Structure 1
Amino acid sequence: MLLKKLQLKTIDYRFGLTMCFLLFFNSVISAQEIIKDVVAEKPAEVPSTQKRKIDGIIATVGDYIVLDSDIDKGFLEISAQGGSVKDITRCQMLGKLLEDKLYAHQAVQDSIIVSDAEVRSMMEERLTYMTQQVGDINKVVAYYKKNSVEEFKTYFADILKEQKLASEMTKKIVDAVEITPEEVRNFFKKIPKDELPTFGAEMEVAQIVIEPKVSDADKQKVKDKLNAIRKDVLEGSSFATKAVLYSQDPGSSPNGGYYKMTRKTPFVKEFKDVAFSLQQGEISEPFETTFGFHIIMIDKIKGQEVELRHILISPTVSEDALKEAKEKITNIRSKIINKEISFADAARTESDEKETRANGGTLVNPTSQDTRFELTKMDPTLYSQVSNLKDDEISQPLLNTDDKGKKTYKLITVTNRIDAHTADYAKDYTKIKELALKEKQITAIAKWFDTKIKDTYIKIIGEYRDCTFTNNWLKK
């Protein structure tokens, strides 16, 4: 029963996380009013003659309130996104809203900062997405029953700030949870043999990547363009606008090139070296990384953290360079097939992909961080490239274009196949560790709620006091 209990707990936990992400990315709850200057204190009672004037308030959590209409809008938006609400009760929806309020309230108590710049960046990204969906920002404004774009932005900023506070608080709790090998072993031992999970068929994959060489002349064209942009900004143009117009970084260009980072943020070394060498307001000269050429402007420096904007432009690869790269990788393939060199040794000596070169080209699963890829969860593009390969077969040269438009040629092979099987501690340690860690995180979050609910002013009124909640919101 242990595994079944874990699965049930995981469902409850995943419901919370799924709802959290759904609310965040689809903006599905209305803006919340904040009760000023109230921290874990009981606000003054409202005379009964005035209660109709605050119609709709059904709960208070610390500094935040929940409106009855928030529940209705939650259901409406889930349906609008194609989700099913038939198994979600109003009490469950309220429970999730209460969780979000407590996360946000405690984030403020813990001095977690969400800057106005972060909120603006998030807002621009969300508004761009919503406008692309409906075709007109005014339709978005009308949907939320606001009178103007500016009124909507003010309203929307409160939503985003609260959601960001909640997500940062959740991350703080979960990131603090660690698990030892002994705990993993004990977790596995407690699972009855007839309840051990079954893992699907998996494979391990290796690849060799050859990048077309960019000419010095093409590189200089990009640097000249970035220098021209830099000059315009120094003369008064908006860096953010230039980033939207010209940057080829899909992760930041819609937000005007905005990033927030510390020295521990996983950016390439060259980028971080330049970012932390600049003063506030300063714009870098063009510099090169594996992604292309960049310029950076520093918006703010706050201790060990910087807020910056950047523009990325990658040189165009010529047809001659593509042809030369294909010829090179075709020659490598011939040597492997003719047994002149092994695939792994060819990857170590010839591949241009630093991340896999040292491991003989072996790919790491970004989800699990091990080398196995479960067939049913594999990236569709990768699956299409390997699904028809036989054991030890080397693919033909494949032209690959990544999400930034960068073109490379690659060879790919399947190095190991693992059939569907019942969990084995030695063979599946990484997956078992993930399950054990998840259980420990669920326990940590449950304990966090128990503690914070006791220490926070919470009030639920009306018919919702009859709800059966997972957490002890009523403090019974």
Structure 2
Amino acid sequence: MQLKIKRLKYIPNSKFGLLLVFLSFLSLQAQEVVIDSTNVIKEEIGVKPKVNDTVKPFTRFKAEGVSAVIGEYVVLDSDIDKGYLELQQQGISIEDVTRCQLLGKLMEDKLYAHHAKVDSLIVSDDEVNQTLDQQLAYIINQFGGDEDKVAQFYKKESIQELRDELFSTNKTIMLGNRMQQKVVEDVEVTPEEVRQFFFSIPEDDRPIFSAEVEVAQIVIEPEITEAAKKKVIDKLNEFRRDIVENGSSFATKAVLYSKDGSASRGGLIEGIKKNSPFAKEFKDVAFSLLEGEVSEPFETEFGFHIVTVDKVRGQEIDVRHIILFPDVSQDVIDKARAKIDSIRAEIVAGNLEFAEAARKFSNEKETKNNGGQLVNPVSFDTRFDLTKMDPTLSAQVYNLEEGEVSKVFTDRDYTGKSKFKILTVTKKYAEHPADYSKDYEKIKELALKEKQIRAIEKWQDKKIKETYINVNRDYYDCQFSSNWLNN
């Protein structure tokens, strides 16, 4: 859902207008990974002043100087410098972004994190590590798997140094997010508030809802042969014998042969609990082992593994694992392609309904029983805003008419295995001005967000007065949207 609004502002510029700019490099839900600070720009940086945010540009600041103290947190000048670099690296113009704006946003983040600790809100190291593993795997993949290049790009001595810094940054952000969630968790809107919200907007200024689509797909995966599975199991048994009987290092085997992101750490996965988000088969095997014991090969939906328990810590265990994937022959791939071509031909000819074909033939467990219908992972309904959906999926369905079947597309999963799919648009919704009756749920969502923002603003104003805050004199001329200088 995209809004086109002329004068209506759902996120006030005074405090949250910058949020959209910074989400790309400060939010955990953005795709880019950020580093809070380490490297310092020592040459002078002049920044163009902006009327509503500062009265003069800054051309003087101290290397590693303290810009502000918020409770137990410190914001360095180098944090602000780093923010500029991160924006530039992502292709975002910094021409109109002032140091005052960057400092204001960093102070907000620290304020949330500080009071999350005061309120005893907890973000476990396990949660941070799970997010961090995904982030690093993504980054390393973007550099072709070369960890040295990643470290060099982020000006670190090693990938571990980058990991340590990202851990600290992510934990602070996650604490802040948790604090904001707590602030708004009890905020609700009544039907009357929704009505007032909508009809208070002048008719010409009401939001325009973007075109949306409902999409279904059929996925055919090449079948993995028993011979291919046996080959992988035999290889894992060979590793196990060498480790158990000859004393070979499990960690070294993982580094050399394992096929996932943990290989660089010797297959190490720390802090697994029985409710951790790992495959059930994986947890069942891991928690059945004694410390130092090596499992027999076993299968999960992700591949074939052997596991050893590195350390038992109460209800948590640290494990190492090696994962391998069966090879898929070209002959098997060709058979899968021929199968989906045949299914598509039957649907196009009118001999088979798309939904029926999905239920009968699709290999995608999540969608086949629903006739192949995709669910939006953000809204959890079946509608996708064409401007916000995954770019690859958007490109595949953008020009499809309702009921039309796409050509066959080839996807590859994280193991490199090919799979084939066809898609159809089951329903199209044209771009249109907001209608109170037809779009009530979307309007309710907007009204709720506005009320949540008001609650956060009120909380922030109150907490600034209650918190120790010290801003460097270099920033006294800033016209902050929040009352950071007179708390």
TM over 0.5, yes or no? yes
Q: Tell whether the 8 Å contact from 2:121 to 2:179 is kept in structure 1 after alignment.
A: no
- The residue number in structure 2 matching 1:206 is 216
Q: Determine the C-alpha separation between the residues in 2 that align with 1:205 and 1:54.
A: 53
Determine if the alignment matches structure 1 residue 319 to structure 2 residue 330.
yes
SS of 2:33's equivalent? Answer: helix
SS of 2:482's equivalent? Answer: coil
Q: Determine the C-alpha separation between the residues in 2 that align with 1:212 and 1:259.
A: 33
2:367 partner letter: T
TM-score by length of 1: 0.77
Determine if the alignment matches structure 1 residue 64 to structure 2 residue 73.
yes
- The residue number in structure 1 matching 2:109 is 100
Task: Give 1:359 deviation, angstroms.
Answer: 1.0
Matches within 5 A, 1:155-234: 159-176=165-182, 177-178=184-185, 183=190, 186-187=193-194, 189-191=196-198, 192=201, 193-234=203-244
Q: Determine the C-alpha separation between the residues in 1 that align with 2:440 and 2:275.
A: 28
Q: Tell whether the 8 Å contact from 1:107 to 1:165 is kept in structure 2 after alignment.
A: no
Residues 443 and 431 of structure 1: is their aligned pair in 2 closer, same or farther, counting only changes over 3 Å?
Answer: same
Q: Deviations over 1:325-354 (max 9, x none)?
A: 234334433443454442212212222111
Matches within 5 A, 1:79-98: 79-98=88-107
Aligned mate of 1:369, from 363, 380, 398: 380
Range moving further from structure 2, 121-130 or 229-238 = 121-130
- The residue number in structure 2 matching 1:404 is 415
TM-score by length of 2: 0.75
1:348 partner letter: R
Q: Tell whether the 8 Å contact from 2:188 to 2:448 is kept in structure 1 after alignment.
A: no
Determine if the alignment matches structure 1 residue 5 to structure 2 residue 13.
no
SS of 1:412's equivalent? Answer: strand
1:311 partner letter: I
Residues 448 and 311 of structure 1: is their aligned pair in 2 closer, same or farther, counting only changes over 3 Å?
Answer: farther
- The residue number in structure 1 matching 2:35 is 27
Task: Give 1:365 deviation, angstroms.
Answer: 2.4
Q: RMSD of the TM alignment (CA)? A: 4.3
Q: Deviations over 1:54-112 (max 9, x none)?
A: 98334222233333344334334533554322222222222223233334444554363
Q: Determine the C-alpha separation between the residues in 1 that align with 2:402 and 2:442.
A: 25
Residues 266 and 181 of structure 1: is their aligned pair in 2 closer, same or farther, counting only changes over 3 Å?
Answer: farther
Q: Determine the C-alpha separation between the residues in 2 that align with 1:370 and 1:433.
A: 15
- In structure 2, the gaps of 5 or more residues are 41-61
Residues 465 and 404 of structure 1: is their aligned pair in 2 closer, same or farther, counting only changes over 3 Å?
Answer: same
Q: Deviations over 1:357-405 (max 9, x none)?
A: 1211111223433222223333343234334434433334443323331
Work out the percentage of aligned pairs sharing the same amino acid: 46
Q: Determine the C-alpha separation between the residues in 2 that align with 1:134 and 1:217.
A: 29
Q: Determine the C-alpha separation between the residues in 2 that align with 1:201 and 1:303.
A: 52
Q: Tell whether the 8 Å contact from 1:368 to 1:431 is kept in structure 2 after alignment.
A: no
- The residue number in structure 2 matching 1:46 is none
Residues 262 and 449 of structure 1: is their aligned pair in 2 closer, same or farther, counting only changes over 3 Å?
Answer: farther
1:212 partner letter: P
Q: Determine the C-alpha separation between the residues in 2 that align with 1:131 and 1:410.
A: 25
SS of 2:295's equivalent? Answer: coil
SS of 2:387's equivalent? Answer: helix
Q: Determine the C-alpha separation between the residues in 2 that align with 1:161 and 1:345.
A: 47
Q: Tell whether the 8 Å contact from 1:178 to 1:437 is kept in structure 2 after alignment.
A: no
Matches within 5 A, 1:143-154: 149=157
Q: Deviations over 1:284-321 (max 9, x none)?
A: 33222222223344455556555544433221222332
Task: Give 1:254 deviation, angstroms.
Answer: 5.0
Q: Determine the C-alpha separation between the residues in 2 that align with 1:126 and 1:322.
A: 27
Q: Determine the C-alpha separation between the residues in 1 that align with 2:194 and 2:152.
A: 51
Q: Determine the C-alpha separation between the residues in 2 that align with 1:204 and 1:75.
A: 39
Matches within 5 A, 1:236-251: 239-249=250-260
Range moving further from structure 2, 427-436 or 159-168 = 427-436
Task: Give 1:175 deviation, angstroms.
Answer: 4.2
2:76 partner letter: L
Q: Determine the C-alpha separation between the residues in 2 that align with 1:134 and 1:404.
A: 14
Q: Determine the C-alpha separation between the residues in 1 that align with 2:316 and 2:190.
A: 35
Q: Deviations over 1:145-171 (max 9, x none)?
A: x9xx48x966x5764343122122123
Q: Deviations over 1:384-435 (max 9, x none)?
A: 4334434433334443323331222323222111111123456545644553
Q: Which has the higher helix share?
A: 1
Matches within 5 A, 1:433-472: 434-472=445-483
Task: Give 1:272 deviation, angstroms.
Answer: 4.0
- The residue number in structure 2 matching 1:360 is 371
Q: Determine the C-alpha separation between the residues in 2 that align with 1:318 and 1:426.
A: 55
Matches within 5 A, 1:323-402: 323-402=334-413
Q: Determine the C-alpha separation between the residues in 2 that align with 1:77 and 1:94.
A: 14
- In structure 1, the gaps of 5 or more residues are 33-52
Q: Determine the C-alpha separation between the residues in 2 that align with 1:23 and 1:348.
A: 33
SS of 2:306's equivalent? Answer: strand
Task: Give 1:442 deviation, angstroms.
Answer: 3.2
- The residue number in structure 2 matching 1:294 is 305
SS of 1:30's equivalent? Answer: coil
